[in-house]
Structure 1
Amino acid sequence: MKENQISTGRFIDGKEIFAVELVNSLGSKVKIYNYGAIVSEFIVTNAKGEKQDIMLGFDNIDGYLNEDYLADYPYLGVVVGRYSNRIRDGRYSIDGVAYQMAKGLHGGEAGFDKKVWDILPTVDPSLTLQYVSPDGEESFPGNLTVQLTFKLSDTDELILDYKAFTDAPTVINLTHHSYFNLNKNGGSIADHQLRMPASNYLEQDADYVVTGRLTPVAGTAHDFLASKAIGQDWDPGEGYDQSFVLDKPYGQLGLASETTEATSGLKLEVYTTEPVAHFYTAKYLNTAESKDGRGYGPFEAFCIETQHYPNSVNIPEFPTTILRPGETYLQTTIFKVSH
């Protein structure tokens, strides 16, 4: 694997935005920005011997900073933090102290996805980004240091290793919001085949907030224990926006999902140490101009967002997302492509 660092010529708050390309011996390439830890490209060779980009995004950094895009913001390819997914009413408590953050998704008004991360020196060909989130940012307590290392293996595995530590008790639930389409020509992902080893999913209320109840997938549209077309049982106007509890030991690296597409012959496997995979089929995606001048619409991508249980900071029965001084947050997620 080799790496190549390129200046974009853009600055935010005096910090320069770079694109870093990782290339392996197969000629596969991943492009990552230190703004938002965005993965904008993942180019692989499909079963027909053609080069294919399986990641949705923009040709350059300007697309991610465009006001129209940000006004209807889908979090294309970004890291999400401090806390991904939804916390009920934006409220939670740590050790009896109440906190109120902005309501809605993914870490507040300006989460980790809108920050310029520092590029740290590495020994091997890889990329390590660091962001230090100050105490009180988006109403989260404690100075939190986050490091995210990207590696592209010679077997087409994009490996994400997360590490974080804090100087005061805080909450953390990181994920990467990558959008995938395995069809070279894009379009609906309804015909993609998905398998997910998850016997239960998490009940959500009308606002998509996790309630604390586990529901068996058996006999429901959420049953992906055996591979089936994503669109086979979905509500075509809703798709999926659901958290699944993975059938693997807590904290161990294991399979989260396996997705295949017939025309490209590609298979994307996701492995993670996290207990939950949030499966989202891009209902709200509506981007006018993206790569090659092409736009993206609803259900033209899928996301496998590996994370802890959403809203678990308000549900004591769920594994904790509280991080304390002296502890280290660790997570590994792997996106493996084959054909």
Structure 2
Amino acid sequence: MKESQISTGKHIDGKEIFALTLKNTKGSVVKIYNYGGIISEFTVINAKGESQDIVLGFDDLDGYLTEEYLAAYPYLGAVVGRFANRIKDGRYEIDGKAYQMDKSLHGGIKGFDRKVWDILPTIDPSVTLQYVSPAGEEGFPGNLTVQLTYKLSDDNELILDYRAFTDAPTPVNLTHHTYFNLDPDKGSVAGNIHRIPASNYLKQDADYVPTGELVPVAGTMHDFLAPRAIGANWNEDEGYDQSFVLDKPYGEFGMASETFDARSGLLLSVYTTEPIAHFYTAKHLRVNGGKGGRNYGPADALCVETQHAPNSVNLRDFPDTILRPGQEYHQTTVFQVTVRK
């Protein structure tokens, strides 16, 4: 595995933005920006022996910075935090003290996805980014230090290892918002064969906020216990934007999902220590001028966002998402790509 670091020549908030590249012996390439921790490329060799980039994004950094893109802002390939997904009405309590933050998705108006992260030195060929979020940023208490390490193994595993520390109690729920498309021609993901080892999903209100109620997947469009086409039972206009409760012991590293594309022969397997896999088929995706000038729309990609439950800071029967001084937040998620011929 090799790592390189090249300046983009761009600066935001006085910090330089770099493109960092990981390569392995199988010809796979991953490119990461320290702006937003964005994974802008994940190229692998498919069943036809062709190089294929399996993530959505732009050909260069400029695409992520245009006014048009930032206005729509689908979080292409970015880290999201301090708190992934939604918090009901932006309100929560810690030790009896109430907090009110902006109701924006994924950590606020300007979350971790729009920050320039520091690049830390590493011993092995990997990339470690660090962001120090000051107390009060986006309404969150406590200074929070987050470190995210990216590794690319020779088994085509893209390993994301997250750690965080705080000096005051604060909600923490991190994930990565990479959009995957395994089709060589980037067609709809509806025909992909998908599996999620989850017997229950989370009921959501009209604003897509979990209520705390678990719903069995049996007999519903959310039943992916056995592999099946994503579009087999869905409402095509809605697709999927749903949190699944994984069938594994809390904190144990295990499978979150499998997705197979017959045309490329690529199988994407996701493993995680997190209890939730939020499955999203890009209902709100509308991006012009992506890679190669391609426009992206609904069902042109899928996201598997490994995390704790959205709104879990307000759900007492769910695992705690308040990080306290002296504790370490730690999660690991692996995206592995293999070939079926």
Question: Which bin holds the TM-score, normalised by the shorter protein?
Answer: over 0.9
Q: Secondary structure at the match of 1:211?
A: strand
What does residue 298 of structure 2 align with?
Answer: 298
The Cα of 1:187 is off from its aligned counterpart by 1.6
- The DSSP-based 3-state class of the residue aligned with 1:89 is helix
Q: How far apart, CA to CA, are the structure 1 residues paired with 2:174 and 2:264? A: 31
Instruction: Kindly indicate whether residue 67 of structure 2 is the aligned counterpart of residue 81 of structure 1.
Output: no
Q: Which residue of 2 aligns with 1:183?
A: 183
Corresponding residue number in structure 1 for 2:25: 25
Q: Does the residue aligned with 2:179 lie in a helix, a strand or coil?
A: coil
Look up the SS of the partner of 1:190 in the other structure.
helix
- The offset of 1:27, in angstroms, is 1.1
Structure 1 residue 107: Cα displacement: 0.2
Gaps of 5+ in 2: none
Show the counterpart of 2:326: 326
CA distance in 1, matches of 2:260, 2:28: 18
Q: What is the CA-CA distance between 1:289 and the residue it aligns to?
A: 0.4
- Distance across 2 between alignment mates of 1:17 and 1:110: 17
Structure 1 residue 81, shift from structure 2 partner: 0.3
- Deviation, 1:131, is 0.2
Distance 1:27 1:5 in 2: 18
After superposition, the C-alpha distances for 1:275-304 in whole angstroms (9 at most, x for unaligned) are: 000000000111110101111011100000
Question: Are 1:202 and 2:208 counterparts?
Answer: no
How far is the alpha carbon of 1:254 from its aligned partner?
0.1
Letter in 1 for 2:185: N
C-alpha distance in structure 2 between counterparts of 1:104 and 1:219, whole Å: 33
Q: CA deviation at 1:104?
A: 2.8
Moved over 6 A (4+): none
Task: Show CA shifts across 1:197-251 (max 9, x none).
Answer: 0000000001100000000000000000000000000001000000000000100
Identity of aligned residues (%): 71
**Equivalent residue runs for 1:116-155 within 5 Å:** 116-155=116-155
**Distance (whole Å) between structure 2 residues aligned to residue 154 and residue 217 of structure 1:** 36
Q: CA RMSD in A?
A: 0.4
User: Could you tell me which amino acid in structure 1 is paired with residue 252 of structure 2?
Assistant: Q
With structure 2 as the length reference, what TM-score do the two structures score? 0.99
Q: Secondary structure of the residue that 2:47 maps to in structure 1?
A: coil
Q: What letter is aligned with 1:46?
A: N
Deviations along 1:151-177, one digit per CA (max 9) or x if unpaired, are 000010000000000000000000000
The CA distance in 2 between the partners of 1:116 and 1:107, in whole Å, is 15
Rounded to whole Å, the distance in 2 between the matches of 1:252 and 1:147 is: 21
Q: Distance in 2 between matches of 1:152 and 1:266?
A: 17
Tell me whether 1:69 sits opposite 2:50 in the alignment.
no
Once residues 312 and 27 of structure 2 are traced to their aligned partners in structure 1, the CA distance between those partners, rounded to angstroms, is 41
Distance in 1 (CA, whole Å) between partners of 2:5 and 2:184 is: 27
Residue matched to 1:313: 313
Deviation per CA, 1:164-193, whole angstroms, max 9, x where unpaired?
000000000000000000001002110001
TM-score by length of 1: 1.00
Corresponding residue number in structure 2 for 1:108: 108
Cα distance in structure 2, aligned partners of 1:315 and 1:44: 40
Q: Which residue of 1 aligns with 2:215?
A: 215
5+ long unaligned stretches in structure 1: none
